[in-house]
C-alpha cells in the first residue's frame, strides 16, 4: 500500500513532547569564552551585581469564590469540649440496650401495650394492600442501577448488575400509599385531626455524666395531630432496671465532634394547631445506614435506631412545650413509631416521663414488636408479578396506631 499524505502527518503534541525530552537531555558545554574575554581585558559581571532579589508577596484577590472554611481551632464554632453525636446513618454498637441507657428507657412488657387492639380486616382492604405492595415493589416505572449483589460464600464472584426500583423509593411509595389507604377507610372526625409531613429535622442536646450528647435525626414521614397522645400507663418505673453495658461505655460508636452548635429543634411552631407528634415513620435503607465497623446491621441495632429517633422527636417536642429547663415532665409525652425497609415493619411506642437522663428515679417506657414481614416474596416470575406470604397483622397494627388518640 502506498503511503499517502495523511499517513505522513505528525501529531503536534507527541512531536513536541519527544522534542522536549531530547533537548532536555543535552548537557551544557564548557566553552572557553570566559578565558578569551578576560584575555582581551573585558570585565565579566554576574547577574547578581545588577539585579536585586525580591520576595514575592501574596495578594488577596476579592472574587466570587469564597474562602474555604478551615475545620480547626480557628473555626467560629470550635469547642474544646467534645460533643458525642448520633445521626440518621449511625447505629449503636449494642443496639437497643445501649439506646435504653442513653435515653433512660425501660421495657415493662413485651410487645405493644394492652390498650392497642387490632380488628379483623375486610377482603376489600386486604386486596387494596396487595395492590399497594405490587405498585411499590414491582409496577413502579423507576429503573435505577441497584447495589451489587454479593455472596459471602463467593466474595470474588461478580453478579450481573440489576436495574429496578431503589429501596429509598420503595420505602416512600409504600408508606405514602398505606397512609392514603388509612385515610380513605377511617371516619372523617379522625382524619381531619391528622396531618402528614415529610422530611422533618429534629435535634435534642443533653448532658449525661459530664458527657455532652446531641441527637440529630430526620423524620422521613411524620403524622401529627391536633391533640397530643394520651399516656399509655401509670405504672411506676423505679423498680425497673436499665441494661448493664459493662465493660462497654454508652458513648461507644457515637461520633465525636469539636465543631458544633447546640440546638433544640422541633420543626413545627408551637402556635400551629396541628403541632403534636403522633406517629413517626422511619425508613431503613441498607445502603445508607451502616455500622461503624463495616459489618451488617443487626436486629437489635435496628431496634435501637427506632428508639433513638422516637426519643429525639418526643424530647425536642417536650422542651418546646414545657420549656428548655424542664426535667420531670408535668404530663408524659407519647409518640409512636413505625420502622420499615419496605417489607419488614417494626412498631414501637415511647412514653417520655423525664428528660433528666442522669440520676432520676423516674424512667421512660418503651414498647416494641419484632420486625414483622408484610409479605415474603414480591417480584416478577417468568414475566408475571408474584406476591407470596402476605401478612395482614402489619396492616392491623397500622390501623390501631392511626386510630390512637
pLDDT at residue 237 tops 60? yes
Q: pLDDT tens-digit profile of 82-126?
A: 999 999 998 999 999 999 999 999 999 999 998 998 999 999 999
Q: pLDDT tens-digit profile of 20-40?
A: 888 888 787 888 888 888 888
Q: How many CB atoms lie within 10 A of CB 314?
A: 28
Q: pLDDT tens-digit profile of 222-236?
A: 999 999 999 999 998
pLDDT of residue 340: 97
Task: Give the H or E element holding residue 167.
Answer: helix 167-185
Q: How many CB atoms lie within 10 A of CB 277?
A: 28
From CA 180, how far away is CA 97, in angstroms rounded? 35
Concatenating the DSSP letter of every residue in 237-300 gives -TTPPPPP-TTS-TTTTPEEEEE-----B-SS-TTSSS-EEEEEEEE--TTTS--TTS-PPPHH
Reduce the DSSP state of residue 183 to 3 states and report it. Answer: helix
Mean pLDDT of 382-394: 94
pLDDT of residue 25: 84
Q: pLDDT tens-digit profile of 293-316?
A: 778 899 999 999 999 999 999 999
Instruction: Report the percent of the chain where pLDDT is more than 70.
Output: 98
C-alpha torsion 269→270→273→275, nearest 10: 70
pLDDT of residue 5: 62
pTM of this structure:
0.83
Q: Cis ω on the peptide bond leading into residue 221 (within 30° of 0)?
A: no
Task: Of 14-23, 57-66, 68-77, 225-234, give the range with the top mean pLDDT.
Answer: 225-234
Residues 6+ apart with CB under 8 A from 380: 138, 386
pLDDT at residue 178 tops 90? yes
Contact between 254 and 303 (Cβ < 8 Å)? no
pLDDT of residue 44: 85
pLDDT of residue 46: 81
From CA 229, how far away is CA 362, in angstroms rounded? 20
Whole-number CA gyration radius for the chain: 33
Q: pLDDT tens-digit profile of 128-160?
A: 999 999 999 999 999 999 988 888 899 889 999
Using the structure block, give the residue that is written with the C-alpha cell 394492652: 114
pLDDT at residue 167 tops 90? yes
Using the structure block, give the residue that is written with the C-alpha cell 391536633: 226
- Angle, helices 96-103/299-322, rounded to nearest 10 degrees: 20
pLDDT of residue 6: 62
pLDDT at residue 389 tops 90? yes
Reduce the DSSP state of residue 35 to 3 states and report it. Answer: helix
Confidence of residue 62 (pLDDT cuts 50, 70, 90): confident
Residues 6+ apart with CB under 8 A from 91: 253, 289, 290, 291, 292, 297, 301, 302, 304, 305
Q: pLDDT tens-digit profile of 279-295?
A: 999 999 988 998 887 78
pLDDT at residue 1 tops 60? no
Which of the two residues, 65 and 210, has the higher pLDDT score?
210
pLDDT at residue 10 tops 90? no
Confidence of residue 8 (pLDDT cuts 50, 70, 90): low
Which of the two residues, 54 and 190, has the higher pLDDT score?
190
Q: Which of 149-158, 345-354, 393-402 has the lowest mean pLDDT?
A: 149-158
Which of the two residues, 70 and 172, has the higher pLDDT score?
172
pLDDT of residue 3: 59
Phi, psi torsion values for 221, nearest 5 degrees:
-140, 125
Confidence of residue 7 (pLDDT cuts 50, 70, 90): low
From CA 88, how far away is CA 290, in angstroms rounded? 10
Q: Which of 8-12, 240-244, 344-348 has the lowest mean pLDDT?
A: 8-12
Task: Report how far Cα 306 is from the mean position of its chain's Cα atoms.
Answer: 12
pLDDT of residue 124: 96
Contact between 275 and 296 (Cβ < 8 Å)? no
Mean pLDDT of 203-209: 94
pLDDT of residue 53: 76
pLDDT of residue 129: 97
Mean pLDDT of 377-382: 92
Break the chain into its structural domains and give their ranges.
78-403
Q: How many CB atoms lie within 10 A of CB 356?
A: 18
Mean pLDDT of 328-338: 96
From CA 200, how far away is CA 216, in angstroms rounded? 11
Amino acid at each position: 500500500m502506498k503511503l499517502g499524505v495523511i499517513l505522513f502527518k505528525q501529531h503536534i503534541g507527541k512531536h513536541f513532547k519527544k522534542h522536549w525530552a531530547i533537548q532536555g537531555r543535552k548537557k551544557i558545554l564548557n566553552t572557553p569564552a570566559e578565558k578569551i574575554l578576560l584575555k582581551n581585558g573585558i570585565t565579566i559581571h554576574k547577574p547578581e551585581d545588577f539585579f536585586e532579589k525580591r520576595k514575592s508577596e501574596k495578594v488577596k484577590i476579592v472574587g466570587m469564590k469564597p474562602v474555604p472554611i478551615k475545620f480547626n481551632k480557628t473555626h467560629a464554632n470550635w469547642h474544646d469540649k467534645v460533643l458525642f453525636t448520633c445521626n440518621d446513618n449511625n447505629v449503636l454498637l449494642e443496639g437497643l440496650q445501649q439506646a435504653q441507657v442513653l435515653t433512660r428507657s425501660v421495657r415493662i412488657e413485651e410487645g405493644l401495650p394492652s390498650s392497642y387492639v387490632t380488628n379483623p380486616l375486610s377482603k376489600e382492604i386486604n386486596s387494596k394492600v396487595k395492590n399497594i405492595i405490587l405498585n411499590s415493589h414491582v409496577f413502579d416505572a423507576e429503573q435505577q442501577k441497584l447495589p451489587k449483589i454479593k455472596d459471602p460464600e463467593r466474595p470474588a464472584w461478580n453478579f450481573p448488575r440489576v436495574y429496578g426500583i431503589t429501596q429509598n423509593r420503595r420505602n416512600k411509595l409504600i408508606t405514602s400509599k398505606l397512609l392514603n389507604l388509612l385515610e380513605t377507610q377511617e371516619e372523617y372526625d379522625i382524619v381531619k385531626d391528622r396531618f402528614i409531613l415529610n422530611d422533618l429535622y429534629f435535634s435534642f442536646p443533653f448532658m449525661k455524666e459530664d458527657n455532652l450528647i446531641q441527637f440529630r435525626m430526620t423524620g422521613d414521614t411524620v403524622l401529627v395531630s391536633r391533640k397530643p397522645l394520651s399516656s399509655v400507663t401509670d405504672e411506676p418505673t423505679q423498680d425497673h432496671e436499665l441494661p448493664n453495658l459493662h465493660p462497654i461505655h454508652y458513648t461507644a460508636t457515637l461520633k465525636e465532634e469539636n465543631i458544633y452548635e447546640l440546638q433544640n429543634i422541633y420543626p413545627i411552631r408551637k402556635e400551629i394547631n396541628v403541632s403534636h407528634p403522633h406517629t413517626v415513620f422511619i425508613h431503613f435503607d441498607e445502603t445508607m445506614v451502616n455500622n461503624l465497623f463495616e459489618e451488617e446491621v443487626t436486629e437489635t441495632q435496628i431496634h435501637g435506631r427506632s428508639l433513638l429517633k422516637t426519643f429525639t422527636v418526643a424530647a425536642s417536642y417536650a422542651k418546646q412545650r414545657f420549656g428548655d429547663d424542664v426535667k420531670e415532665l408535668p404530663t408524659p409525652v407519647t409518640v409512636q413509631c413505625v420502622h420499615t425497609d419496605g417489607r419488614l415493619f417494626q412498631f414501637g411506642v415511647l412514653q417520655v416521663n423525664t428528660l433528666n437522663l442522669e440520676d432520676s428515679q423516674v424512667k421512660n417506657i418503651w414498647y416494641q414488636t419484632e420486625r414483622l414481614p408484610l409479605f415474603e416474596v414480591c417480584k416478577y416470575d417468568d414475566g408475571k408479578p408474584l406476591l407470596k406470604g402476605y401478612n395482614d397483622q402489619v396492616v392491623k397494627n397500622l390501623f390501631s396506631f392511626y386510630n390512637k388518640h
